[in-house]
Every structure is written in C-alpha cells, then in structure tokens.
Structure 1
Amino acid sequence: MDKPEQIRNIAIAAHVDHGKTTLTDNLLAGAGMIADEGEATRLMMDTEEDEQERGITIDAANVSMTHEYNDRNHLINLIDTPGHVDFGGDVTRAMRAVDGALVVVDAVEGAMPQTETVVRQALREGVKPALFINKVDRLISELQEGPEEMQQRLTDVIGDVNELIRGMTQDMDDVDDWTVSVEDGTVAFGSALYKWGVSLPSMQETGMSFGDIIELEQDGKRQELHERTPLSDVVLDMVAEHFPDPLDAQPRRIPRVWRGDDQTELAKQMREVDDDGEVVFMATDIGMDPHAGEIATGRVFSGTIKKGQELYVSGTAGKNRVQSVGIFMGGEREELDRGVPAGNIAAVTGLRDAIAGSTVSSVEMTPFESIEHISEPVITKSVEAKNMDDLPKLIQTLQQVAKEDPTIRVEINEDTGEHLISGQGELHLEVITQRIQKNQGIPVVTGEPIVVYREAAQNASREVEGVSPNRHNKFYITVEPLSQDIVDQIKLGEVSMDMPELERREALQEAGMDKDTSQNVEHIHGTNILIDDTKGIQHLN
C-alpha cells in the first residue's frame, strides 16, 4: 500500500452475463480470501439481496487483495462493475478510480453492445485495457470445436475488440499501446466457472497446448486443468505485468481528468503520487452502510487521507471532518488508523457534502473534470408514498438516491406535485423503487413508465422556408448534425452561453467549428446549437 510501484488499480467490466463476478470469485479464492471449493459460483461481490436474487451485479463492488509476482507482493485494488446497460453509470464512475480495465468477453457470444460501451468508457478515462475471453469450455463441450476452429474463433474475438479500441484511439499517436495481443501477454483465455485459464506466457511456462486443454476438458478432468493452470494465477500475473502502476499512470491521466495549473506544486504532487503532499481524493461512489452511515469510495491521487482531517469538498462551503478511512475486503470495510496513501482506492466516512464525482482536498483547488456518463436518463415514472406520513422520509430517500447515483434524476412535476424519477431503463427504476420499499420501509405507489422520445439528424437537411404572419418576412432553416467533438465539449461544460462570447468562439473553433459559424451562435440548448446566419435585404420588391 505504501509502495505505488506495487499497486494495481483495476476494474473488471463486460457485457451482462459474460462472467465478471464469477471471475472475481476466482481471483478472491486465488488470493486466499475465500475458500477454493468446487465451481466458482459464490458471487461474493454481489452483496445485496436483490443482486443475489436477480443473478446480476447492480452496484460496483470494491475489494483489495494481494498477489505475489516476480518475488514481489502486489496490492490489487479491484472494482467489479455491473454488466447490465441500465447500471452503466457505475462503470463510468469506476473508470475514474482505476488505471487498468480487464474486459471480459464470452467466447461463444463474442463482443456485444455493452462490450463496446465499457471499452469506450475505459479509453475515455485513459484506462488501459486487457482482455479475458471466458467460457472457452463451451467451445469444447457444447460446440465440439477442434484446436484450429477454437483458435480462429478466439482470434476473431480479439480482432473485434481491437477494432473497437482502434476506432476510439485513432486520434492518438500511440494506438498500438492500447490494443491487446496474445503475443504481448495482454490476452488470456479460460473458464471462470471451472477455474482454469491460459495465456501465452503461462502456456510457455507450463508447456500446455490447446490440444492438451481440449483433451482434459473432453475427458472431464477440469480439476486437473485447474491445478495445472489456475485461472487466478494467469489473470493476476497479467494484471501485475501489464497494467500500469500509479507512478506510471498518474502523470498520463492527470492532464485528462484535471484542468488546473500543471505548473503548481499540487499538480507535481499528483503526478508523482506523493503520499506526503496535500490530500487530493476523488469520490467515485457514495453508498450507505447501516452502521457507518454514508461511505465515499474513490481514488487518492495525492497525500494520505486519515481520520480527523478537515477537508474541502468541491462546490460546497466549509470543510468536512473525516470520521474513518479504510479499504474494502470483499463485502467488509476494514478501517486503517494510519490512513490510505496516494495511489490507492479508499473508503471514507464523514464526507457528508460529497456526491459521486466530488473532489475532496486539504487545500482549495480546481476540481477534477466532471465524470461524463455515456447515456442520459431515458425513462421516467412517478413515485408517491402510500401513506402521507412517509412523505418527508420519501423525499429524503430520493435526495439520497440522486446523491449516490448521478444517472438518476429526481424532480417534482409542478402541475401535479408528483415526484418523478428518471433513469437508464425499466430495471434501473425497478431496483430503485424496490430498495426504497425494502431497505427504507416506505410503501410507495409508482406510475406507468414514460419513455423519453428523442431523434437526431444524421445528415444535413434541405432548406425549409418560413414566412411571417404579415407575409413580409421570410426565413430559411436547415438542420445538420454537430461533430462529436463539439457535443462532447457542450456536455463537459466547456462550451455554454454562460461564458464570455470570445471564449465560447475559441472553444468552438478548437472543437472544429469554422470561424464564421462560431461568431453567429445565437443559443445553446442541451446539445443543440442555433446559428443565426440571416442576412437582411431591404426593398426586395
């Protein structure tokens, strides 16, 4: 923990049901944190009752474990993220806290829509990917594939993932540094369920071949396969060897996520992962513990966060006093009196003003860039308390929900007085309302979900003529899509009508808008820009 070069902060991300949490169980068993018994289906990271019932990960879960590699003990701070698209906000926030993303892909299904999303989320945050192709046992036992067919299928999966990566890094100079490769050791294969895995380095070390794997799998000798090439060793060796440590990652990532003065002492401390520097912590997750209260989990970029410190929280007045600091060991939080130093992921209580995305520091500073979620709320439904006496408690609970999950929007319908919650999908809202009833004991009545309808232009339209009521004036409207760079700048708040006009023009031009157009911006609404390109003509007749 005190040696940044031996720390790896990683997230496991994938499409739903591709095996992330089962893989995490393997890694926990390999680290000696849970018993290594039978098939790896304990789902230790799915600590909520509804996660166990539904069989999916709903909340991002943190765990710290150790792994010995090249005679050095490495601390692995791991975040198991949800795979369902409705809970993609947790994936986005987790990527701010980590330096490496282990992308899990089902060998049979291949890269799926959420695979593309999690790769995009990782690359946007400057997080380096590696690939684990899971459920290879199904290629052998179900599809009866031979060595050549199996290798071709795995090659296709790797190619699909690299195609996604190249498409998202084409503007970078070092595209090849981000792609994954069997030869480089950034790809592993195996079965999380049966706890075996291989990579090129492990096959060279053990002398295993695909033919050996097929033979053992077909003969049902899965335990022998696990003993000869345990999945946890293969994956954690890959993590230790190929994912960057904080000393390597932070100098590269800080300019991406922080727009402050890079010549200051504070910037230097963050780049150098200085545990004696000023405390700089970013909360990426807010959760409630029945005993400890609100827990802010996030990345310590500088300094050492300790119990009793008085810290600033971005966007709020005054300071918050740290009540406790620790790390997560499975579902349990272990407090550390000595604090948590820079380069680690910490769980902190006492930061009452923090929300997911807050910058917390010992000195006033420019906050980190806001975490940009890929999708916005698309479905809305009303929530009312069955009993009017529960209304104040419901309001307080909804405020807490919005604080914990920025992808949830809570508002009041001014016409009806109803409380409206908007989220990423029906499952997202269903989980929220069920937890309100079960965890908070508030019986609620919900309305029918309403889907937000949106459409966008794909190409430039023809001119549409408009005439004023007195028939004396004509104007013409065309619609065309904005470039993604401009949309991103608007979402990040780098372009808005609230900024000085000259500054706005320069920002738009940097994002690719031509000079004349940038001078005629009349209004910005959402991610839409109205351009006034009118020219007056007098005495037309």
Structure 2
Amino acid sequence: MSATTSPLGTVRNLGILAHVDAGKTTVTERILYLTGTTHKRGEVHDGTTVTDFDPQERDRGITIFAAAVSCTWDGHRINLIDTPGHVDFADEVERSLRVLDGAVAVFDAVAGVEPQSESVWRQADRHGVPRIAFVNKLDRAGADLDAAVESIRRRLHPAPLVAQMPIGTEDGFTGVVDLLRMRALLWSGGDTDTYTEGPVHESLTAEALRRRRVLEEAVAELHPLALEEFCAESTLSARTLATALRDLTRTGEGVVVLCGSAYRNRGIEPLLDAVVAYLPSPLDVPAVRGTADGAPEGGPAGTRERAADPGAPFAALVFKVHSTATGRLTFLRVYSGTVEKGDVVLDAGARRTERISRILRVRADRHAEVDRAVAGDIVAVAGVKAARAGATLCAPSDPLVLEPPSVAEPVVSVAVEALRRTDVDRLATALARLVEEDPSLAVRTDSETGQTVLSGMGELHLEVAVETVRRAHGLDIGIGRPEVAHRETVTRGVSGLVHRHVKQDGGAGQFAHVVLDAEPLGPSAPGTDGSGGTAEFEFRSTVAGGRVPREYVRAFEAGCRDALAHGPLGGHPVTGVRVTLTDGATHVKDSSEMAFRTAGRNALREALRACAMTLLEPVVEVTVTVPDDAVGGVLGDLAARRGRVCGSTARGGTAVVTATVPLAELFGYATRLRSRTQGRGTFTARPTGYAPAPGAAADGP
C-alpha cells in the first residue's frame, strides 16, 4: 500500500521548536484554531492558551512542559508537540524530538537565529528530524526576512530555500507571495481568519520573479532531477519545485523557509499546507531499530527493525509521564503494531507487564477516548503504573527494547526540606513523583549533612520543580542556596604505577597485580574546554603475551570506571582521563574478575591522588540584549562575574553582548540585569561545557 493510500500516509508527527518568545505557542494556537480544534484563539499574554495549560506556564508566560495536541488539516491528522524554548527545559525538547518525524522551527523576524534556536536545531540534527523554517513576527518594527534567512544560513548551515516573499513591511505586512505558484495570498484588515488568493501586483512582479529564480537555482544545485529540467528548460515547473522541496526537506539537504505573523493570523494556512506537502509521514521515515529482549546490546543477533505497520508486533516508546488529578497518564509514540483498550503489554526494560485501561487522543489537558492506537500514533494511555520516560512497551510475545532518549546530567542543586516535621514523608513522595515525570531532575541524600538535595538543569528549572511540589501537594518547603555540579580532571599524569591486590581469608583468595599509566585526554578533551561533550574516560591495554586475560582486562576497566565517580579533590566525578594498563600478573587459583575489578578501582584512586588535578566548573554562553546606554554597566557586571566577552553587535538602538560566564556566577543575574537596565534588558544562557575553576588545583604528593 502506498503512502498516499495508506492511512499512515496522512499522519504527521510534528514538533514546534524555537527560542523562548519566538512565537511557538502562538503558532500552535493558530494551528488549533484554523483546524477547528478550538473555537477561540488563545493568547499567551492573556493566559488562555491550550498548550500552556499549567498554572506556572500561564503565570510566567513561557512554555515549560512539552504539550501534545492532535488536529486535522486537509484530510491529514497532525499530532503536534509544542516544546519549551528555555534552555533549562532542553531535556523536554530532547524527549519530544526522539518521537517526532518532522518539525517547524520558528524564528523571530527581528532577532533571527537566537542561542536556543541554535541549540534545538542541533538537537534536531542529532535525531535526523526534517524541518521547515517559519520566520514569524514580520509585523514587528525592524522585521527583515532576508536578514533572518542569512542568519539561518550563517549560524545553522542548512541550504535555506525561501518559498515566499512578504507583501508589505512591519505594520503594513498584509500577506505573502507564493513563489511556487506565483500567487499573492492577502489577509484583509484586522485579524481576519481567511485570506484571498489572486495575481501578484505589478509593483511586486519583478522582485517576485527574481526571488523565484533564486529559489530555482538553489533547488537545481541540490536536486538531480530538478537540475535536469532546469538545464533543458531554463526554468522549473511548480510541480517539479514542489517535488524537489519535499525530497530535499526529508533528506535534510535543504530547509523550506516560509514567513508570516502568527499573532496577526497571517501565514498559518500556507504553513499547514507545507507541513502536509513536505514533512514526512511515519511511512517515509526509516524503520525503528531496537534490541531483542535477552540478546546482546547492539549485537547482530539482538538488533531488530520494526516498520510502521499496524499488523506488526506492537512496540511503543514512552516519552512523557504526567500525573493528573484523575491518575497517571503515560504518553506513547507507537512505532509498530496496534494496541487496544484492555491489552496487556510488556515493559521490556523492567520485564514487567502492564494493562492498558484507556487510550486517549490528546489535546493538551483535555482528552478524547479512543478504542485503539496504531503505528504512527502519538497517544496517552491510562493504567500503566510504573513505566518511566524512555521505557519500551511492547507485545509480550515479541519483546523489543527501543533506544531511550538521552538524559542530560544535572548541573545545579539545591537543598530542600519540609518546614513541618509531619510533612517529611509527603515531601519524599512528592519528589519521587517529580523525578518520575522529569528524568532530568535528580534527588539524593547528602551523606555528610543528611539533607535532601534536588538537582536540575538550571535555576529556573529548580524554581519550577519546587513550585510544582508546593502547589500540587500543598507543602511548605525551605530551599538552600543553589550550588553547581563540579567535575575534576587530570592536568599532569603518572606513569608506571604498580598496585597489588592480595586478600587471603582461607580458601580461595583474591590476587591481582597491575601496572598502569594515567594521563589527561588533552586540551580538546570533551568536558574540559567548553565543548560540552560527554566523553570522560578512555581506556587502553598494552599488555602483551596474555599476561592478563581479556576478561580480567575488562574487569579492570570496569573498576577504573567505578573510581571515576569520586575524585580526590572534593569527591566530584572525574572527567578527561586516559588510563593505560601496561602490565600485570595473575595467580592460577586466586585471580578472578572480582579481584581485578577491585584492583582497577583502588589502583586508579591511588593514581589520581598522585596526579596533578584541577577542579572544573560548568560554564554557559550568555547572550545579553540591552539598550545602548546600558552597555557599559552590563560589561562591568559581566567582568565582575568572571565573564569573558566574546562579541558585541548593534541592532536598532540595542546591543547584543555574548560572553562565557561560570554558571555559579549567574545566580540572581536576572534581577541584577533588570535593575541595571530599568527592566529593559534580557538575557539567555546555554551550557557550553566545563572550564577550570580558579584556585582549585592540586599537584599531588
């Protein structure tokens, strides 16, 4: 069955991605209104939006939690996820991208590509999610489509394929020219819901033809069939252009650029048409791959593929868990098979069965019950009691484990405590539920102080988490000053360190003799130069002649990894170290994998104490937008916070300053910036990795 005749061919699983305040939620609200899903246009500033339904989202005016909605357009069902734009909630974006087939990236026509725009774009690159770009807010003063497109080309490096031209500028923006069909789409005065289609006005014809020619040439450079027609006819037909744009979008070689003003309801219908025409259906994306239950991870015998086929064995990925007043909802992307109400499914990772009591088509905080969900669907289910985000639910008769979304390590922590002794147990339960819903949060008990420590991705992330506990559970909570998550790294290593592990308690003993080198991974080691990488450890073995069997070498490596959890400076995780096992010896009776694992753990701890070590602190890139007359004060404040200014650009009476600043120095910065700029300054921050903390080195013995 072809994609055009299969019901799956009419499904689009779509995400809305952008920097905070670029207009994602407003775009989503207009889509819901135009598709008939809602009968009144919600506004962010009025707190009446469908997808920002949480009280904190409405209070703060930002998206915090990814919200799923379903709607229909032109005979196609669109499952849409409105994602957060603030960097503290990037993990919500990561989990959403894992289950999406396509995305609309929204850009501000005045600001162009902003820091978080770049971050979510890179996240989409990692997941191979095809995108359409929508340049929003063309009705604003200073809006410039060409400048926004150039920033996309320069900072994101795709081939932007501009398929529309704006009609009018700023307050005079009234419509767009569709460059494929060379037709004008005009919205009449006011915030009208409909547009009229007509010929391009003669005053715009020459510019529209020039832009159409630029589009044809760009497409011909990238698409072989389009190049053939262009060489033969010196032009491209609308049909060829549409086919080429679809192919280039789905392969990621190009990104179609559309424009409009979501707030004024201009340009949304053509955007929906482009979603249907260019973004892939579940049938157009590669089959999902997983590991058969019980098979070696990644091994040939363990790898399985599941196509988007309703008749295949059921397999779905949990990407979100949400507790409501009526119970626990588990959000699924169904990759293969069919699931019905009452079915028993297997949580493949936990090896536990769950019963699906209800299946819900989601519209943010409202739901419509359905009898079944099939491959390609994004739905919520009730009745699943224990599956967490990242779990695979599958047919018990055909187990499969899908790769879960990656979870970033928390970088900021606060101590939390119940102000009333009677609330201690309730607080523990509330925090456990919070971590279940948001895997980027972590809760632990400090071994020295006995305090409960909540860790997350940033100051705002923790503020929202604490406020959620207060509101949802009615608890009075005290919180401590935020602290950042440090790392330790090697700056000068040791060679030839000898360690013997000998233990004899009667009967078989333990024996392991090892010789190792420990050295830094180098200045480009991920995590030490601000690159934000995740690699922390490299292991090699140069033992010759079989003096240490292979299974003992693997056990020794595992022991070394155990030792990385607590460094010698302050018990922080160790990153950026290379360990080489150069020699060793075994005992015919007393050597074992356990003995070599213990030797690896103790030997590396000893080696790290002998190395020159330094403490690393998390560093973020800060982009501050302030009036020209406040630049001096802002630069001085950044310098006082150990910031290093990377650049400054002028933009219409304002200055945009970019700097790298230690995360620990940014606590309370929002309040300080507002006071220095009389409320006119704004800033965004995104993690860039780790850098040496001042005065925190140890040279070893």
Q: Shift of residue 367 of structure 1?
A: 1.3
- On the 8 A contact 1:297/1:345 being kept in 2, the answer is yes
Q: Label 1:299 to 1:225 Cα distance change in 2 as closer, same or farther (>3 A).
A: closer
- Provide the C-alpha distance between the structure 2 equivalents of 1:189 and 1:531, rounded to a whole number of angstroms: 63
Q: Label 1:475 to 1:74 Cα distance change in 2 as closer, same or farther (>3 A).
A: closer
Aligned position for 2:522: 480
Aligned position for 1:13: 17
Q: Shift of residue 520 of structure 1?
A: 9.1
Aligned position for 1:385: 418
Does residue 450 (structure 1) correspond to residue 489 (structure 2)? The answer is no
- On the 8 A contact 1:40/1:195 being kept in 2, the answer is no
- Provide the C-alpha distance between the structure 2 equivalents of 1:194 and 1:234, rounded to a whole number of angstroms: 19
Residue type at the aligned position of 2:378: I
Does residue 345 (structure 1) correspond to residue 378 (structure 2)? The answer is yes
- Provide the C-alpha distance between the structure 1 equivalents of 2:367 and 2:40, rounded to a whole number of angstroms: 22
Does residue 155 (structure 1) correspond to residue 118 (structure 2)? The answer is no
Residue among 148, 161, 164 paired with 1:181: 161
Structure with greater helix percent? 1
Q: Label 1:520 to 1:63 Cα distance change in 2 as closer, same or farther (>3 A).
A: closer
Q: Shift of residue 482 of structure 1?
A: 6.4
Does residue 27 (structure 1) correspond to residue 62 (structure 2)? The answer is no
Q: Label 1:480 to 1:306 Cα distance change in 2 as closer, same or farther (>3 A).
A: same
- On the 8 A contact 2:416/2:454 being kept in 1, the answer is yes
- On the 8 A contact 2:539/2:578 being kept in 1, the answer is no
- On the 8 A contact 2:104/2:132 being kept in 1, the answer is yes
Aligned position for 1:329: 363
Q: Which moved more, 1:253-262 or 1:339-348?
A: 253-262
Aligned position for 1:407: 440
Q: Which moved more, 1:42-51 or 1:22-31?
A: 42-51
Aligned position for 1:173: none
- Provide the C-alpha distance between the structure 2 equivalents of 1:192 and 1:299, rounded to a whole number of angstroms: 40
- Provide the C-alpha distance between the structure 1 equivalents of 2:96 and 2:387, rounded to a whole number of angstroms: 16
Aligned position for 1:516: none
Q: Which moved more, 1:307-316 or 1:294-303?
A: 307-316
Residue type at the aligned position of 2:118: E
- On the 8 A contact 2:139/2:170 being kept in 1, the answer is no
Does residue 116 (structure 1) correspond to residue 118 (structure 2)? The answer is yes
- Provide the C-alpha distance between the structure 1 equivalents of 2:473 and 2:50, rounded to a whole number of angstroms: 24
Aligned position for 2:450: 417
Q: Label 1:455 to 1:14 Cα distance change in 2 as closer, same or farther (>3 A).
A: farther
Does residue 107 (structure 1) correspond to residue 109 (structure 2)? The answer is yes
Aligned position for 1:92: 94
- Provide the C-alpha distance between the structure 1 equivalents of 2:453 and 2:85, rounded to a whole number of angstroms: 26
Aligned position for 1:61: 67
Structure with greater strand percent? 2
- On the 8 A contact 1:7/1:76 being kept in 2, the answer is yes
Tell me the SS of whatever aligns to 2:53.
coil
Aligned position for 1:394: 427
Residue among 316, 319, 324 paired with 1:284: 319
Q: Shift of residue 247 of structure 1?
A: 0.6
Identity of aligned residues (%): 30
Task: Report the TM-score, using the length of structure 2 for normalisation.
Answer: 0.59
Q: Shift of residue 362 of structure 1?
A: 1.1
Does residue 532 (structure 1) correspond to residue 536 (structure 2)? The answer is no
Gaps of 5+ in 1: 166-178, 507-518, 537-541
Q: Which moved more, 1:429-438 or 1:154-163?
A: 154-163
Q: Label 1:224 to 1:305 Cα distance change in 2 as closer, same or farther (>3 A).
A: closer
- On the 8 A contact 1:321/1:350 being kept in 2, the answer is yes
- On the 8 A contact 1:108/1:135 being kept in 2, the answer is yes
Q: Shift of residue 523 of structure 1?
A: 2.9
Tell me the SS of whatever aligns to 1:442.
coil
- On the 8 A contact 2:518/2:579 being kept in 1, the answer is no
Provide Cα deviations, 1:188-236, integer angstroms capped at 9, x if missing partner: 999999997647457x35325xxx89xx8xxxx3546963474321111
Aligned position for 2:560: 523
- On the 8 A contact 1:26/1:40 being kept in 2, the answer is no
Aligned position for 2:138: 136
Q: Shift of residue 378 of structure 1?
A: 0.8
- Provide the C-alpha distance between the structure 2 equivalents of 1:377 and 1:477, rounded to a whole number of angstroms: 26
Residue type at the aligned position of 2:63: T
Tell me the SS of whatever aligns to 2:399.
coil
Residue type at the aligned position of 2:347: V
| Count of residues in Structure 1 that have an aligned counterpart in Structure 2 | 468
Q: Label 1:281 to 1:201 Cα distance change in 2 as closer, same or farther (>3 A).
A: farther
Larger RCO of the pair (alpha carbons < 8 Å, separation 6+): 1
- Provide the C-alpha distance between the structure 2 equivalents of 1:181 and 1:390, rounded to a whole number of angstroms: 58
- Provide the C-alpha distance between the structure 2 equivalents of 1:189 and 1:496, rounded to a whole number of angstroms: 62
- On the 8 A contact 2:291/2:401 being kept in 1, the answer is no
- Provide the C-alpha distance between the structure 1 equivalents of 2:92 and 2:358, rounded to a whole number of angstroms: 23
Q: Shift of residue 105 of structure 1?
A: 1.1
Q: Shift of residue 26 of structure 1?
A: 0.7
Residue type at the aligned position of 2:522: E
Q: Shift of residue 390 of structure 1?
A: 1.6
Q: Label 1:14 to 1:465 Cα distance change in 2 as closer, same or farther (>3 A).
A: same
Does residue 316 (structure 1) correspond to residue 364 (structure 2)? The answer is no
Q: Shift of residue 415 of structure 1?
A: 2.1
- Provide the C-alpha distance between the structure 2 equivalents of 1:358 and 1:189, rounded to a whole number of angstroms: 48
Provide Cα deviations, 1:508-534, integer angstroms capped at 9, x if missing partner: xxxxxxxxxxx9998333654432276
Does residue 236 (structure 1) correspond to residue 272 (structure 2)? The answer is yes
Aligned position for 2:389: 356
Query: Cα RMSD (Å) of the superposition?
Result: 4.3
Provide Cα deviations, 1:127-168, integer angstroms capped at 9, x if missing partner: 112111111111xxx23x7xxxx35313313313541x5xxx
Aligned position for 2:600: none
- Provide the C-alpha distance between the structure 1 equivalents of 2:184 and 2:433, rounded to a whole number of angstroms: 54
Tell me the SS of whatever aligns to 1:97.
coil
Aligned position for 1:509: none
- Provide the C-alpha distance between the structure 1 equivalents of 2:358 and 2:328, rounded to a whole number of angstroms: 11
Q: Label 1:520 to 1:372 Cα distance change in 2 as closer, same or farther (>3 A).
A: closer
Residue type at the aligned position of 2:456: G
Q: Shift of residue 316 of structure 1?
A: 1.8
Q: Which moved more, 1:524-533 or 1:153-162?
A: 524-533
- On the 8 A contact 2:346/2:352 being kept in 1, the answer is yes
Q: Shift of residue 452 of structure 1?
A: 2.0
Q: Shift of residue 333 of structure 1?
A: 1.3
Tell me the SS of whatever aligns to 1:377.
coil
Residue among 200, 224, 227 paired with 2:195: 227
- On the 8 A contact 2:469/2:475 being kept in 1, the answer is yes
Aligned position for 1:52: 58
Give the number of the structure whose alpha-carbon radius of gyration is greater. Answer: 2
- Provide the C-alpha distance between the structure 2 equivalents of 1:340 and 1:494, rounded to a whole number of angstroms: 44
Q: Shift of residue 454 of structure 1?
A: 4.3
- Provide the C-alpha distance between the structure 2 equivalents of 1:257 and 1:130, rounded to a whole number of angstroms: 35
Provide Cα deviations, 1:29-55, integer angstroms capped at 9, x if missing partner: 110122355978642210011100100
- Provide the C-alpha distance between the structure 1 equivalents of 2:173 and 2:388, rounded to a whole number of angstroms: 38
Residue type at the aligned position of 1:279: F
- Provide the C-alpha distance between the structure 1 equivalents of 2:282 and 2:153, rounded to a whole number of angstroms: 29
Does residue 245 (structure 1) correspond to residue 245 (structure 2)? The answer is no
Residue type at the aligned position of 2:361: I
Provide Cα deviations, 1:77-132, integer angstroms capped at 9, x if missing partner: 00000001111111000011110011111111111121121112112122112111
- Provide the C-alpha distance between the structure 2 equivalents of 1:283 and 1:190, rounded to a whole number of angstroms: 45
- Provide the C-alpha distance between the structure 2 equivalents of 1:496 and 1:340, rounded to a whole number of angstroms: 48
Aligned position for 2:7: 3
- Provide the C-alpha distance between the structure 1 equivalents of 2:153 and 2:344, rounded to a whole number of angstroms: 50
Gaps of 5+ in 2: 198-265, 498-514, 542-547, 565-573, 585-701
Aligned position for 1:371: 405
Tell me the SS of whatever aligns to 2:316.
strand
